[in-house]
């Protein structure tokens, strides 16, 4: 298989359009349309602890991941964190920039497990290992995901699905922001002012 050729540099508006297009692919996945239910129940007492939630069909979940992966891969032009940066520096509407910052805060909370996490790994780390081990022949990622079947293995699976569901919500939010910015003509191809751009990036 040949090496992947480098992409031509995209304009800011083109990057946002590409993000919107990929977000549309993700939104059309059956699992997204049906909605994720990640409510978790932990049962303890009277036997080994257990966890339960509405687990999605495995094939549907993997199909969903195919379209989610580009948003969490820093090698992709639609990498979510990079698009947050673009909005802060190349969208002149302060309201849209504010909405993007709040969305990024929600993503960071999901990545770190601000509300609930395992002691040894964040939700983002658990999901990254699962995705790498699923889509690549990556022995290290598979070792990181290897746990004896039972409570902690099930909890890892819930973290993967819960985290990915949260990322998909932030993708939809950012796509709506990008769509409004393009429609309103507030996307520029150079940072709107040098000082404002530096200030925005300093808070990222």
Burial 182-201 (b: 16+ CB within 10 A, else e): beeebbeeebbeeeebeebe
Q: Which residue has the higher pLDDT, 16 or 152?
A: 16
Per-residue pLDDT, averaged over 66-74, amounts to: 94
* pLDDT at site 143: 66
Per-residue pLDDT, averaged over 77-98, amounts to: 95
Per-residue pLDDT, averaged over 180-195, amounts to: 85
Per-residue pLDDT, averaged over 9-17, amounts to: 93
| Position 7 in a domain | no
Say which DSSP state 7 is in.
P
Alpha helices in the chain (DSSP H): 12-27, 30-34, 58-72, 80-90, 94-112, 123-135, 139-145, 151-184, 194-202
Average pLDDT of every residue of the chain: 83
Please write the tens of the pLDDT for every residue from 122-169.
889 888 888 887 776 666 756 666 554 666 777 888 888 989 999 999
What is the domain extent for residue 111?
Answer: 12-202
Domain count for the chain, please give it: 1
Confidence of residue 14 (pLDDT cuts 50, 70, 90): very high
| Position 140 in a domain | yes
Per-residue pLDDT, averaged over 68-79, amounts to: 94
| Position 4 in a domain | no
| Position 79 in a domain | yes
Q: Is the pLDDT of residue 203 over 50?
A: no
Q: Is the pLDDT of residue 58 over 90?
A: no
* pLDDT at site 151: 63
pTM, two decimal places:
0.82
| Position 5 in a domain | no
Q: Is the pLDDT of residue 195 over 60?
A: no
| Position 2 in a domain | no
Q: What is the DSSP string of 49-103?
A: -EEE--PPPHHHHHHHHHHHHHHH-TTSTT-HHHHHHHHHHHB--HHHHHHHHHH
| Position 127 in a domain | yes
Please write the tens of the pLDDT for every residue from 106-131.
999 999 887 676 777 888 988 888 88
| Position 163 in a domain | yes
């Amino acid at each position: 298989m040949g090496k992947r050729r480098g992409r031509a540099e995209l304009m800011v508006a083109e990057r946002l359009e590409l993000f919107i297009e990929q977000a549309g692919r993700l939104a059309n996945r059956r699992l997204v349309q049906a909605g994720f239910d990640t409510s978790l129940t932990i049962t303890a007492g009277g036997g080994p602890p257990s966890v339960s939630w509405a687990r999605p069909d495995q094939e549907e979940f993997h199909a969903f991941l195919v379209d989610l992966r580009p948003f969490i891969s820093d090698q992709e032009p639609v990498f979510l964190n990079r698009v947050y940066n673009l909005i802060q520096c190349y969208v002149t509407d302060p309201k849209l920039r504010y909405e993007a910052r709040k969305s990024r805060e929600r993503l960071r909370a999901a990545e770190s497990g601000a509300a609930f996490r395992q002691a040894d790994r964040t939700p983002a780390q658990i999901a990254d290992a699962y995705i790498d081990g699923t889509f690549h022949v990556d022995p290290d990622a598979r070792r990181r995901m290897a746990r004896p079947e039972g409570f902690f293995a099930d909890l890892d699976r819930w973290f993967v699905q819960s985290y990915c569901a949260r990322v998909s919500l932030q993708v939809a939010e950012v796509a709506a922001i990008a769509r409004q910015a393009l429609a309103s003509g507030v996307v520029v191809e150079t940072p709107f002012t040098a000082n404002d751009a530096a200030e925005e990036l300093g808070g990222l």
